[in-house]
Structure 1
Amino acid sequence: MTIQKRVKHAALFSASALALAVASASHAVDFEVGDTKASVYGYAKLDIIYDVDADMGDLITHSKIALDGEESQDGHFNMHAYQSRIGFQTTTPVSGSDLVTRIEGDFYGKNNNFRLRHAYGSWDGILAGQTWTNFYGFVAGTPTIDFRGPPGVANQARQPQLRYTAGNFSMSIEDPDTLGGSEDADLGTTEKPDDIAKSQLPDVTARYTETSGPFKYSASAVLRQLEYDAEGSTNTPPANVDDDSAFGWGMALEAALDVSEALTLRAGVTHGDGLGGYMNVSPQTSPAYLDTTTGDLETLESTGGTIGASLKAGPGAINASYNVATVDLDDEEIDGNDTFETAYLNYIWSPAERISYGIETSWASRETKGGDDGDAVRIQGMVMYSF
């Protein structure tokens, strides 16, 4: 990064320290039907967005950032309410343990239609359905108004799974194609057939979370099998392409420390080979690519990290974080983005119960395998009314 860019970023975030912004408390409309306690909850949220540089979309999308030297239309205003959501949850005592069910959705689906977020039941430590991947521990994430969230941490997304939890330890088998991605997403060649990737085994995750006084940490792992088989393909496979498989894995460490009643520090690191989308905002969401010269399935190594802080101030908190996600393409036969960075500074506050306001300044950048890079600045506000 040039000295001029560093000065630009320092000036940006010094000015942003004067901005204000907020976290919403959890609310619900509760009622009882027999032995069942039910809750309807959700919120309406308006996002107000101004992109100083390239238009990065409803969520920060690094691939839309113009590289240095490329022509770009600068200055874009946008408003939307797609994050607004509604959920329904029940709790029923069954044979000495609570049976919990939950269904929730928002409007970030295709063409901004209603999208299923959670749909699961849990009883006696066994969870079945769709919810947060067990690979993410909810420890290192510093609050942001941008709904995409920070690059480099384990992905805080949801997918179908069967999970068992005992105390602080949990393990699961999860859908192999939803979040982590499969090698058919981008095999690095325009000649690839579209239907040779396959999933023969589920992804397996394990996580341990612990709290000791003001310190909280989480350690998690994921194991994956990646495979392709050209037999039975409706397309003609490239030369030397038959079948191959590869082993994928990933680890995530997260920590948070309450330095005082007002200040919380957070940090996390994610690393793996064949990790794909299990790392949030990865420059390459595909875990592997097909080398059509050798016919081998080659996994992609990725590393990410985050560091952040939250400081209570007045009716809310100031949140700041720096986040980076990288994929090692140096020895690979494919091109594309290999580094995404994002820095956030926001203030999120609640002037009254069920009401949250926020304002955020963010800086995002991307760099390609060839060394070309570009960056962009976004200013975003929010108004959220919860029920």
Structure 2
Amino acid sequence: MKLLNRTALAVAALLTPVAATQAAVSLQSLSDTEFAFGGYVKADLMVSNYSEGAPDDNNISRQFYVPGAIYGDSSRGKSVTDFHARETRFNFAATNEIDGHKLKFFVEMDFLTHTDGNERVSNSYSPRLRHAFVSVDNWLVGQTWTTFQDVGALPEALDFVGAAEGTTFARQGQIRYTNGGWQFALENPSSTFTDYTTGVRKTGSSDLIPDLIARYNFKTGSSKFMLAALLRELEYEEENMDESTFGWALSGSGVIPVGSGRDTFKFMANVGEGAGRYMALNFVNGAVLGNGEVEAITTYSGFASYQHWWDEKWRSNITASALEADYDTSPVAAVNETSYSGNINLLYSPVKPITVGVEYLYALNERTDGTDADLSRFMFSLKYVL
């Protein structure tokens, strides 16, 4: 027993300097880490008129404009008023440099899209994960904006997206490498299909090959531009069917200063076959299923937006956005085909963290059988940036 005790004391004596050194390194790393807490609080008041009747309270279209989600319920009234603060978001970041390597981690959450709350008493909605990633030097791993999307080109709007038809839009898991203006990424594959007979959306059960994206960011004077390419496989393996097709898309966007003041012009143009969920919040699926075949759907989309500063505190944005789908073989049932929207706003920032504004949005969605639906919305918002 004495021998064992002596041995334990000897080992402890040897390990104590190691533990102390490790603790010192950990404390030093922690002291060199920069922490940041951010986000914003945003309160929205929306008065909406749906031509085909208002959707139910938990429908995503009652939170922000989503193309294809405005057809509503014809048994309900057309006009509704909504107050909510669900766009409010919080994020936490930490950056450090260890052994010459730059490290960062970032997490962000908000309260949109969930249907697990209601407006009757408490308006309690659970948070959802927006971003969660770690980056080491040029590499990023985790969930964040798709590399195919130029977030910097999005117009300033009170609506959550602002140019829903014309922008590429997705957040998903990925592995991304950045070198100067070039970015290359492997991203989560998720295919969506339209049933030829019923028009119902179906998802692929055997997405195997990651979506491949290449992007180039560059500047010309004070203007910023982006070019991106997407290549993906859409495979459907269910119901005694095993077929696939390749999809592709190209996107170009830019932010151009106008005049000698703070005015800017923003734009985006997209084209692709089988792009599906990357365009207009999945207004159109990637391909049509029918007769034992998978046929990619062609889409064209884009937006243009102009921001004018009236003075140092007042500004306005006017935006037009559109998408058109081309079906080589149109499904028997009516499905989404074209979508247009436009919005104009007036924003006021009495001090830098606060923005108060009003906005009007009009949207028109059309299906392959000629039926359509439109949405008119007046919106008031107050936003405080942390």
Q: Secondary structure at the match of 2:350?
A: strand
Q: Secondary structure at the match of 1:265?
A: strand
Alignment-derived partner of residue 310 in structure 2 = 313
User: 2-side partners of 1:243 and 1:140: how far apart?
Assistant: 39
CA contact (8 A) 1:281 1:325 kept: no
User: Structure 1, residues 310-349: CA drift from partner, whole Å, max 9, x if none?
Assistant: 0112303210110001211363235312011110101222
Q: How many residues align?
A: 337
User: Structure 1, residues 86-115: CA drift from partner, whole Å, max 9, x if none?
Assistant: 110001012323201101100115324210
Q: CA deviation at 1:41?
A: 1.1
Alignment-derived partner of residue 273 in structure 1 = 273
User: 1-side partners of 2:36 and 2:202: how far apart?
Assistant: 44
User: Structure 1, residues 242-301: CA drift from partner, whole Å, max 9, x if none?
Assistant: 3111001111011221012232112211110000111123431x211210xx20111111
Instruction: Report the AA paired with residue 242 of structure 1.
Output: M
1:182 aligns with 2:197: no
User: 2-side partners of 1:194 and 1:50: how far apart?
Assistant: 33
Alignment-derived partner of residue 65 in structure 2 = 60
User: CA 1:191–1:107 in structure 2 vs 1: closer, same or farther (change >3 Å)?
Assistant: closer
User: 2-side partners of 1:277 and 1:149: how far apart?
Assistant: 17
> Which of 177, 198, 213 matches 1:164?
177
User: 1-side partners of 2:377 and 2:182: how far apart?
Assistant: 39
1:303 aligns with 2:312: no
TM-score by length of 2: 0.81
User: CA 1:371–1:182 in structure 2 vs 1: closer, same or farther (change >3 Å)?
Assistant: closer
Matches within 5 A, 1:123-142: 123-142=136-155
User: Where does structure 1 lack aligned partners over 5 or more consecutive residues?
Assistant: 1-31, 231-236
> Which of 82, 86, 109 matches 1:82?
86
User: CA 1:282–1:325 in structure 2 vs 1: closer, same or farther (change >3 Å)?
Assistant: farther
Instruction: Report the AA paired with residue 64 of structure 2.
Output: L
| Bigger proportion of residues as helix | 2
Alignment-derived partner of residue 24 in structure 1 = none
CA contact (8 A) 1:219 1:253 kept: yes
User: CA 1:343–1:227 in structure 2 vs 1: closer, same or farther (change >3 Å)?
Assistant: same
More deviation, 201-210/353-362? 353-362
More deviation, 260-269/76-85? 260-269
User: Where does structure 2 lack aligned partners over 5 or more consecutive residues?
Assistant: 1-28, 55-60, 116-124
Q: CA deviation at 1:33?
A: 4.3
Percent identical: 28
More deviation, 367-376/38-47? 367-376
User: CA 1:197–1:188 in structure 2 vs 1: closer, same or farther (change >3 Å)?
Assistant: farther
User: CA 1:48–1:34 in structure 2 vs 1: closer, same or farther (change >3 Å)?
Assistant: same
CA contact (8 A) 1:47 1:382 kept: yes
CA contact (8 A) 1:324 1:341 kept: yes
1:214 aligns with 2:218: no
